[in-house]
Structure 1
Amino acid sequence: MAPLPEHRPPAQRERRAALALLLRAAAPELPLLRGALLWLVLAAGLEALGPVLGKAFIDRHLLPRDADALAIAGLLGGALVAGWIASWLRYGQLLRLAGVAMRSVQRIRERVYGHVLRLPMAFFDRAITGQLVSRVTNDTEAVKTLYVQVLFVMLDSVVTLGGMLVTMALLDWRLMLVVALLVPAVVGIVWIYQRLSAPAVAASRALRSDLNAQVAEAIAGMATLQAAGAAPRFAERYAGTNAGHYRSRRLELRANAWLLRPALDLLNVAMLGAVIALFGLRADGAAGGQLSAVEVGVLYAFVSYIARVVEPLIQITMQFSQLQQAVVAAARVNTLLDEAEAPPAQAAGQVTAGALSVRQLTFGYQPGRPVLHGLDLEIPAGRFTGIVGATGSGKSTLLSLLLRFYEATPGSLLIDGQPLGRIGDDDFRAAVALVPQDPFLLAASARENIAMGRPLSDAQIEAAARDAQAHDFILRLPQGYDTPLGEGGARLAVGEKQLIAIARALAGAPRVLFLDEATAHIDSETERLVQRTLGALRGRITIVAIAHRLSTIREADEIVVLNHGRIAERGPHEALMALDGGLYQRLVQLQQLVVDTDDDDESPAAPQPTPSPAR
């Protein structure tokens, strides 16, 4: 996906935007998060009681040799109860935060998927399917890891660290300051880790996206790939990308190995040695060179707290790897969300008859390189119009503009005398239907493929199938309309898929029907069924058919011949064939010559799907 940054760590502004995305997703859960934080504070306070109770046991009973069984049992019972309640609170909050995480990721995924559905067609001209799928699935999965693991562990660790430091300050604030030196040391380690690992993490996620894209591309074109003997070259390309992914992951893991757990374990040992040394200095300065009982209890408490302070710091730093990946993933998701959606059309007008007008239309995909030049075309309601021309003549571009996939400027496109932009999206899509060259079928039943999620009755679905000449072959399927068609309609022939697509288009009772090379890859018998369908629809709805096989539009009311983005000829079939040396006449003769040469079929109504200049 060329416009989306793939192989660099997110900049500061992108990181802020990514974090803002995460906060917006979790915003509805803030009351629950506040309650969870309060419970974590209670759990941290209860955990901090353990060393304090141990200190009390040493000070009051161990060193003075006071064997008060009841008091000792009270201290032991208090430690057990405090530990049990703290564990229960953490368990409950883990479940609550997991729920927050799942719902937040659910919102992000739904938002991303809905956003992709609303993007303009111009975006998909440059998008790579595998990378889009990776952003909707893999990257949002990394965000889920942030909520489920990082959020809980870091919140828990920060609260625990704060509780321990407060308790140590109450015992001995000077020693607490010494232990608190761990915090800036850990911050420095994390900063170095972030600087070293960020490029590796960004490259790793981008290369994983490339791997997904290559797999999706290879599977989609497997027949062509194997027929061309390209499998070894594709495997070599995949291996190169995979090697890059391995190298980036290795750099990331090396940073983890050096800067996370080992560095903090070293700090732990150093801090423990510093505290013991300070107590030793106190003993040297004390009368008789010995610590008092109170100081021995404090030493025990501080040794316990150092281990408990270092562990949250270790947990925080260990989560920075996941945090780094989650921020990179969130930045990639946010970049996709920043893609401008197609502007919603004003909902003032409605399609009533289906008359189309093209006035002084000029359009190009790139500035200064127009594909269409000042087109003027009137298509009355109920008229059957065919559009033909050589490759690059602008047929598909004109159709895309009529379908509102792109904005037409300068010039204007009208339907029933209203600019296309004045028709609301729902009204426009309900009134205008498309039958593409390559039919898109869901891995669902014939009934579901025709309904396409619309609330249509069985009678409406069957009526559309009859109009499309699809009813008879659907009834011959094992379960009729409820037969699963397989992925992409794998259980159907190409012609049957196209009839299902036509039935789907007609099921919505459109006022305008566009056919984009709808008969390019079907057999002669299916083409005759399509011609019969178009003949039955003539006068009822407006039909605009881009034709690869010219026999499909032979009976059209008017045929428009495009040449280099301009209208070269127009009129019915007989009138155009009467123009000696005309472009349409040459196209028909050339196509007939190809048909006669390739399959000895004398009927002009049944050419095979061989390449033709009519595309």
Structure 2
Amino acid sequence: MKTTDNTNSTGRRAAALLWRAAKPESRHLWIGLAWLAVAAALDALGPVLGKAYIDRYLLPRDPAIANIAALLIGALVAGWVASWVRYRQLSRLAGVAMRSVRRIRESVYGHVLRLPMSFFDKAITGQLVSRVTNDTEAVKQLYVQVLFVMLDCLIMLASLLVTMAFLDWRLMLIVTTLVPAVFGIVYLYQRLSAPAVARTRQLRSELNAQTAESISGMAVLQATGAAHGYGERYARINNDHYQSRQTELRANALLLRPALDLLNVAMLAVVIAVFGLREGGGSLSAIEVGVLYAFVSYVGRVTEPLIQLTMQFSQLQQAIIAAARVNTLLDEAEADRPAADGRVTAGAVSMRQLNFAYAPGTPVLRQVSLDIAPGEFIGIVGPTGSGKSSLLSLLLRFYPVADGQLLIDGQPIASLDEAAFRDAVGLVPQEPFLLAASARENIAMGRPLTDAQIETAAIAAGAHGFISRLEQGYDTKLGEGGARLAVGEKQLIAIARALAGQPRILLLDEATSHIDSETEAVVQQALAKLHGKLTLISIAHRLSTIRDADRIVVLNHGRIAELGPHEDLMQIEGGLYRRLVELQQLVSDDAANTAPDASSIG
């Protein structure tokens, strides 16, 4: 019972999703369905006219046979026209479907863009991409190849049953026994195939996820000799996907077309047998011959839409499951962005008894209190897991402040207008994210910036020189992920992007950890020029980048262990900061001492 309730709920939610998407074009939808009804009525008229032709003119050999024959031919032509109109309307409805699915896909993608960072902490990229692309494509099939075909078949079936009832309601009741028999087959098919369909889609997402993961980490896979193991893992998932698809196909082969063809033959036999029993072995009357012709014709016509309905059920099953996956994604709560009108003005930051945990009972930040003046340069250091990145995530409003206070210019961070906050707070991430676009587009990032603003930001970041040397300057395409640039150049582009919005607060997340010493010097010069003009908060792995900070915050186990300028912290005997500096210096000296002399090579 629980499985049935879940299935019904899934179907209702899928229908609601489709209706919301199609609602803007409901007028075209109803007009199309009306034309389908007209076409079905005209198609059902043919056997009735055939019966009249046999009963009144053919067997009695009425001299007006030519007139009724012409009428019958006209009815056949009208039926052909009706079919043409029906298929034309189906193609128009397909256009409605395509536009509706376009709205669904845009809605899903827009929803993903508004999800909180906590969602992406758990999300698997390949599976998420599969939801946005493959599952919405399956919803399109639900519209185009399933729903409208099924509606057409249902309308045709209703028209045929009404016409049969007009001719002989007793025989119509016999023919309608096909309907519950077909639904019984469909129910059995659903019970057998639904788990396999759901598993198939899940396994397809896993295949997509591993493919995306492998491509992004190909260098590591090959360098560590893991390619073979990943290939075997992919083969196992792919085999499971194959077996799941085989289960679907076996259910199709056993329960769909073969079973319905058998029902069709059985129903024809029953109709002919009923006529035989009526006459008791004697010859059929003219009226009975006409009705027999009509019902033999209708049995074939009733069976065909039923066959089409069941043949579409496999696609319907897959599409409903896909729609359920899309609905599950849409049910994810978006990031809480309450209406607020606060603005960042000077760039002062205050933390008061700030606590934070990703999961209850495992705090990451504990009782952090700190006041940062406008224009101050603050460095944040600490061992791995000390809470540096978590603190940065709170400053970026990636997670809500649940315990303690985080104030910007004396205002709770949640009270700041979203757009104004994003304009006022810039980020330079550890791994620069670059689009497969031009340098200009990568700096602007969709914002309405002038060429002068873009170049000013590039100059401030120290990126203008190498950008100008590219063959098309700022309009040069940088390749996927900035493949045409060195790592340091990518980082300078990221800094220029952050500065282009003229932020009041600039956050740097280990922005120099992957660049060479020469580029680091360029970054430090850029930061030195910004010192005092905006508030700088820099998480540093390479401690040399924050030596000149006004104050350095040393985090340990989520608490502020030490605080002060570089010189003061270095005076603390056994201090954590001093140990980190000495350890990093020792590593650097060892690397320099073990480096081979260039003259000795070769």
Sort the Cα spacing of 1:221 and 1:540 in 2 relative to 1 into closer, same or farther, 3 A: same
User: In the aligned structure 2, how far is the partner of 1:175 from the partner of 1:345?
Assistant: 65
Q: Which of 301, 320, 323 is matched with 2:313 structurally?
A: 320
User: In the aligned structure 1, how far is the partner of 2:13 from the partner of 2:592?
Assistant: 61
Q: Which of 178, 185, 189 is matched with 1:182 structurally?
A: 178
Are 2:199 and 1:203 aligned?
A: yes
Are 2:54 and 1:58 aligned?
A: yes
Could you say what secondary structure the match of 1:522 adopts?
A: coil
Quote the offset at 1:15 in angstroms: 3.4
Could you say what secondary structure the match of 1:438 adopts?
A: coil
Could you say what secondary structure the match of 1:218 adopts?
A: helix
Quote the offset at 1:79 in angstroms: 2.3
User: In the aligned structure 2, how far is the partner of 1:207 from the partner of 1:522?
Assistant: 39
Give the structure 2 partner of residue 608 of structure 1: none
Give the structure 2 partner of residue 172 of structure 1: 168
Give the structure 2 partner of residue 265 of structure 1: 261
User: In the aligned structure 2, how far is the partner of 1:82 from the partner of 1:12?
Assistant: 40
User: In the aligned structure 2, how far is the partner of 1:552 from the partner of 1:451?
Assistant: 26
Quote the offset at 1:18 in angstroms: 2.6
Quote the offset at 1:66 in angstroms: 4.0
Are 2:94 and 1:102 aligned?
A: no
User: In the aligned structure 2, how far is the partner of 1:599 from the partner of 1:324?
Assistant: 64
User: In the aligned structure 1, how far is the partner of 2:70 from the partner of 2:24?
Assistant: 44
Asked whether the equivalents of residues 272 and 306 of structure 1 are also in contact (C-alpha less than 8 Å), the reply is: yes
Please tell me the residue identity of whatever aligns with 2:109.
Y
Instruction: Count the aligned residue pairs.
Output: 593
Could you say what secondary structure the match of 1:315 adopts?
A: helix
Give the structure 1 partner of residue 26 of structure 2: 30
Please tell me the residue identity of whatever aligns with 1:243.
N
Quote the offset at 1:9 in angstroms: 11
| Farther off after superposition, 308-317 or 574-583 | 574-583
Q: Give ranges in structure 2 of 5+ residues lacking alignment.
A: 596-602
Give the structure 1 partner of residue 35 of structure 2: 39
User: In the aligned structure 2, how far is the partner of 1:101 from the partner of 1:512?
Assistant: 47
Q: Counterparts of 1:374-393 in structure 2 under 5 Å?
A: 374-393=367-386
Asked whether the equivalents of residues 519 and 552 of structure 1 are also in contact (C-alpha less than 8 Å), the reply is: yes
Please give the per-residue CA displacement for 1:337-367, whole angstroms capped at 9, x wherever unaligned: 1111111133221101110001101111111
Asked whether the equivalents of residues 150 and 319 of structure 1 are also in contact (C-alpha less than 8 Å), the reply is: yes
Q: Which of 227, 241, 247 is matched with 1:251 structurally?
A: 247
Asked whether the equivalents of residues 595 and 601 of structure 1 are also in contact (C-alpha less than 8 Å), the reply is: no
Give the structure 1 partner of residue 326 of structure 2: 333
Sort the Cα spacing of 1:204 and 1:303 in 2 relative to 1 into closer, same or farther, 3 A: same
Asked whether the equivalents of residues 351 and 428 of structure 1 are also in contact (C-alpha less than 8 Å), the reply is: yes
User: In the aligned structure 2, how far is the partner of 1:276 from the partner of 1:95?
Assistant: 38
Please give the per-residue CA displacement for 1:487-527, whole angstroms capped at 9, x wherever unaligned: 10011100000000000001111110000000000011110
Give the structure 1 partner of residue 497 of structure 2: 504
Asked whether the equivalents of residues 445 and 484 of structure 1 are also in contact (C-alpha less than 8 Å), the reply is: yes
Give the structure 2 partner of residue 555 of structure 1: 548
Asked whether the equivalents of residues 358 and 377 of structure 1 are also in contact (C-alpha less than 8 Å), the reply is: yes
Quote the offset at 1:177 in angstroms: 0.7
Give the structure 1 partner of residue 599 of structure 2: none
Give the structure 2 partner of residue 467 of structure 1: 460
Quote the offset at 1:37 in angstroms: 1.2
User: In the aligned structure 2, how far is the partner of 1:567 from the partner of 1:235?
Assistant: 46
Asked whether the equivalents of residues 441 and 489 of structure 1 are also in contact (C-alpha less than 8 Å), the reply is: yes
User: In the aligned structure 1, how far is the partner of 2:313 from the partner of 2:439?
Assistant: 50
Are 2:426 and 1:433 aligned?
A: yes
Give the structure 2 partner of residue 613 of structure 1: none
User: In the aligned structure 2, how far is the partner of 1:155 from the partner of 1:12?
Assistant: 19
Give the structure 1 partner of residue 361 of structure 2: 368
Asked whether the equivalents of residues 519 and 549 of structure 1 are also in contact (C-alpha less than 8 Å), the reply is: yes
Give the structure 1 partner of residue 600 of structure 2: none
Could you say what secondary structure the match of 1:386 adopts?
A: strand
Quote the offset at 1:68 in angstroms: 4.4
Asked whether the equivalents of residues 9 and 201 of structure 1 are also in contact (C-alpha less than 8 Å), the reply is: no
User: In the aligned structure 1, how far is the partner of 2:217 from the partner of 2:398?
Assistant: 26
Q: Which of 388, 398, 403 is matched with 1:405 structurally?
A: 398
Quote the offset at 1:557 in angstroms: 1.1
Could you say what secondary structure the match of 2:521 adopts?
A: helix
Could you say what secondary structure the match of 1:125 adopts?
A: helix
Give the structure 2 partner of residue 575 of structure 1: 568
Could you say what secondary structure the match of 2:374 adopts?
A: coil
Are 2:438 and 1:445 aligned?
A: yes
**Identity percentage over the alignment?**
71
Asked whether the equivalents of residues 432 and 512 of structure 1 are also in contact (C-alpha less than 8 Å), the reply is: yes
Are 2:213 and 1:220 aligned?
A: no
Asked whether the equivalents of residues 157 and 316 of structure 1 are also in contact (C-alpha less than 8 Å), the reply is: yes
Quote the offset at 1:11 in angstroms: 4.3
Could you say what secondary structure the match of 2:86 adopts?
A: helix
Q: Which of 136, 148, 154 is matched with 1:152 structurally?
A: 148
Q: Which of 524, 533, 537 is matched with 1:544 structurally?
A: 537
Asked whether the equivalents of residues 553 and 563 of structure 2 are also in contact (C-alpha less than 8 Å), the reply is: yes
Give the structure 2 partner of residue 609 of structure 1: none
Please tell me the residue identity of whatever aligns with 1:268.
N
Quote the offset at 1:405 in angstroms: 0.8
User: In the aligned structure 1, how far is the partner of 2:33 from the partner of 2:87?
Assistant: 13
Give the structure 2 partner of residue 528 of structure 1: 521
Could you say what secondary structure the match of 1:239 adopts?
A: helix
Please tell me the residue identity of whatever aligns with 1:259.
L
For the aligned residues, what is the CA RMSD?
A: 1.7
User: In the aligned structure 2, how far is the partner of 1:110 from the partner of 1:103?
Assistant: 11
Q: Which of 404, 409, 415 is matched with 2:408 structurally?
A: 415
Could you say what secondary structure the match of 2:590 adopts?
A: helix
| Farther off after superposition, 535-544 or 10-19 | 10-19
Quote the offset at 1:409 in angstroms: 2.2
